[in-house]
């Protein structure tokens, strides 16, 4: 722009000089020297009026044109220069980024976020393009989060609907049966009472499903409330919870410090973690109660902290039967009831009917610890743990330990934000 103005200025000055010099050439024979008399201003009209009348027509026209040119030149040149400068500037500096941004906006309008706007330049347009690219990435991340939430909800709804069908079938079936056969007197009083009892148990089951559904929902929307806690303090808390359980039953609970797993000899007891304590304990209690159900004689709890990634790892290992390889992947889905669950649970109803139907309810529940174990639980424990871990920036993995038994590992991100 500056160059253009400078060039315009110089050119118009040159043109002016040329015009004046040409005028001078014409008037000189009549005894007028413009340069000499210019200082007095408007000279050759008044001072040499005579000269003007002596000029031929052609010369008069020429002088007029030269004057016009001389006056107009700066304006014309400046505007031309400005236009040229603008066009050049646009071509070189603005056209590409504008195209990029326009295309990007068009793609986003078509709901396509699969493109990249890159413009390598340090100037403002480059900055604008980079900002646009950042914005696009944010939108993609948001969409992915939304999609993941919807899929999760669908998964829960499907599992929920799936498991609701049985109690609904039983309730509906018995209602129809009683409606049809009771008036005919075909249902004895004893039979009627036992049927009603069974129906109320299934009703209760439906109610429980509704409750757990709400529970899962609330976990998914939870925001971890992070507080500073020392690793040593956390370990003490874990030991505190497992100590009373050690005293009851035949299962030993060991608390390890992860040194064996990672070979890290440094004492990490003083490490500070930003953790939501109540969520952490919820996960611990769920995993511990699962482990206690299946363990033969030993449950191991290990807490480890990786400073570089600011991640806390919780490992719970039992020496029970472990996970069925086929079910391992789906075990954290909501309402999962695998074969080991069904075998240990015995159907979960415990209605007491015999009828040649084997009662498989093995009496392994340990009530009274207040650690959230329920008779006839619905298999959402692991799912909840997974949801909590994810909300806390971590993951949950299940595997079978090298020496058998189930090995569940949960990680929590413990950085400040």
Partner 1 sequence: MGQRILVADDEEGIVLLLKDYFELQGYEVITAGGGMEALDRIRCGPDMIILDINMPDLDGLSVCRKIREKVSCPILFLTARVEEQDRITGLIMGGDDYIVKPFSIEELGARVMAHLRREERGRHSGAVRTEGDLTIYYQERISYSVRLSPGRADPHRV
> Which own/partner contact pairs does 112-118 have at CB distance under 8 Å and 24+ positions apart?
113/139, 113/140, 113/143
Contact between 207 and partner 1 by CB under 8 A: the answer reads no
Contact between 338 and partner 1 by CB under 8 A: the answer reads yes
Contact between 103 and partner 1 by CB under 8 A: the answer reads no
Cβ 373 to partner 1, closest distance in Å?
21
Contact between 126 and partner 1 by CB under 8 A: the answer reads no
Distance (Å, whole) CA 210 – CA 222: 19
118 touches 87 (CB < 8 A):
no
Contact between 154 and partner 1 by CB under 8 A: the answer reads no
Q: How many residues bind partner 1 (CB under 8 A)?
A: 36
Determine the interface stretch with partner 1 among 97-105, 146-154, 333-341, 407-415 (rule: CB under 8 A).
333-341
Contact between 347 and partner 1 by CB under 8 A: the answer reads yes
| Two tokens, residue 57 | 């027509």
β-bridge partners, 281: none
Contact between 169 and partner 1 by CB under 8 A: the answer reads yes
CA angle 346, 350, 353 (to 5 degrees): 110
Contact between 210 and partner 1 by CB under 8 A: the answer reads no
Contact between 330 and partner 1 by CB under 8 A: the answer reads no
Determine the interface stretch with partner 1 among 31-39, 101-109, 221-229, 349-357 (rule: CB under 8 A).
349-357
Residues 264-323 that bind partner 1 (CB under 8 A): none
Distance (Å, whole) CA 257 – CA 62: 103
Nearer Cβ to partner 1 (172/374): 172
Cβ 396 to partner 1, closest distance in Å?
23
Residues 355-394 that bind partner 1 (CB under 8 A): 355-358, 360
Q: Which of 342, 364, 374, 375 binds partner 1 (CB under 8 A)?
A: 342
DSSP state of 93: I
Nearer Cβ to partner 1 (278/359): 359
Q: Which of 91, 148, 149, 180 binds partner 1 (CB under 8 A)?
A: 180
Largest distance between two CA atoms of the chain: 144
Element (H, E) at 306: strand 298-306
Q: Which of 103, 131, 166, 297 binds partner 1 (CB under 8 A)?
A: 166
Contact between 258 and partner 1 by CB under 8 A: the answer reads no
328 touches 398 (CB < 8 A):
yes
**What DSSP assignment string belongs to 379-417?**
S-HHHHHHHHHHHTT--EEEEE-TTSSEEEEEEEE-S--
| Two tokens, residue 371 | 């650690």
Q: Which of 43, 51, 198, 344 binds partner 1 (CB under 8 A)?
A: 198
Residue 89, number of CB atoms within 10 A of its CB? 13
Cβ 159 to partner 1, closest distance in Å?
10
Q: Which of 90, 343, 362, 364 binds partner 1 (CB under 8 A)?
A: 343
Nearer Cβ to partner 1 (65/161): 161
313 touches 340 (CB < 8 A):
no
Between the CA of residue 268 and those of 264, 271, 312, 317, what are the distances in Å? 9, 5, 11, 22
Contact between 168 and partner 1 by CB under 8 A: the answer reads yes
Contact between 146 and partner 1 by CB under 8 A: the answer reads no
Question: Helix 124-181 crosses helix 95-109 at what angle (to 10 degrees)?
Answer: 0
Contact between 204 and partner 1 by CB under 8 A: the answer reads no
Contact between 165 and partner 1 by CB under 8 A: the answer reads yes
Distance (Å, whole) CA 385 – CA 396: 7
Contact between 167 and partner 1 by CB under 8 A: the answer reads yes
Nearer Cβ to partner 1 (358/403): 358
β-bridge partners, 312: 305, 412
Cβ 404 to partner 1, closest distance in Å?
21
Nearer Cβ to partner 1 (153/166): 166
Element (H, E) at 314: strand 311-318
DSSP state of 8: H
Distance (Å, whole) CA 308 – CA 224: 21
202 touches 209 (CB < 8 A):
no
Q: Which of 38, 134, 162, 374 binds partner 1 (CB under 8 A)?
A: 162
Binding residues for partner 1, per CB under 8 A? 161-163, 165-170, 172-174, 176-177, 180-181, 186, 191, 195, 198, 201-202, 337-339, 342-343, 347, 349, 351, 353, 355-358, 360
């Amino acid at each position: 722009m500056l160059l253009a103005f400078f060039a315009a200025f110089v050119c118009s000055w040159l043109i002016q000089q040329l015009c004046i010099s040409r005028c001078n050439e014409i008037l000189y024979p009549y005894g007028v020297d413009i340069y000499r008399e210019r200082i007095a201003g408007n000279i050759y009209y008044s001072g040499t009026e005579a000269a003007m009348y002596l000029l031929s027509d052609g010369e008069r026209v020429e002088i007029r044109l030269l004057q016009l040119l001389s006056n107009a030149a700066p304006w014309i040149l400046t505007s031309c220069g400005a236009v040229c400068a603008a066009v050049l500037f646009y071509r070189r500096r603005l056209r590409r980024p504008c195209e990029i941004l326009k295309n990007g906006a068009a793609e986003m309008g078509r709901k396509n976020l699969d493109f990249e706007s890159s413009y390598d330049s340090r100037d403002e347009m480059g900055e604008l393009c980079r900002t646009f690219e950042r914005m696009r990435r944010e939108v993609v991340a948001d969409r992915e989060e939304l999609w993941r939430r919807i899929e999760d909800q669908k998964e829960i709804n499907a599992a929920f609907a799936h498991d609701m069908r049985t109690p609904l079938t039983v309730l509906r079936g018995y209602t129809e049966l009683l409606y049809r056969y009771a008036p005919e007197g075909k249902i004895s009083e004893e039979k009627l009472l036992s049927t009603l009892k069974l129906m109320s148990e299934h009703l209760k089951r439906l109610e429980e499903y509704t409750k757990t559904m709400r529970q899962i929902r609330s976990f998914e929307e939870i925001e971890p409330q992070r507080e500073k806690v020392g690793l040593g303090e956390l370990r003490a808390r874990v030991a505190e919870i497992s100590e009373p359980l050690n005293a009851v039953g035949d299962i030993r609970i060991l608390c390890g410090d992860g040194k064996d797993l990672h070979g890290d000899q440094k004492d990490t007891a003083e490490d500070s973690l930003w953790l939501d304590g109540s969520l952490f304990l919820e996960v611990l209690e769920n995993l511990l109660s699962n482990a206690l159900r299946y363990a033969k004689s030993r449950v191991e709890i290990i807490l480890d902290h990786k400073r570089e990634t600011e991640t806390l790892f919780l490992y719970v290992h039992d020496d029970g039967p472990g996970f069925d390889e086929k079910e391992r992947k789906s075990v954290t889905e909501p309402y999962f009831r695998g074969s080991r669950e069904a075998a240990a649970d015995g159907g979960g109803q415990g209605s007491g009917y015999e009828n040649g139907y084997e009662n498989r309810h093995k009496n392994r529940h340990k009530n009274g610890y207040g650690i959230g174990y329920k008779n006839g639980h619905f298999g959402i424990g692991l799912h909840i743990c997974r949801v909590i871990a994810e909300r806390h920036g971590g993951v949950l993995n299940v595997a079978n330990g090298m020496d058998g038994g189930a090995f569940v590992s949960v990680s929590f991100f413990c950085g400040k934000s």
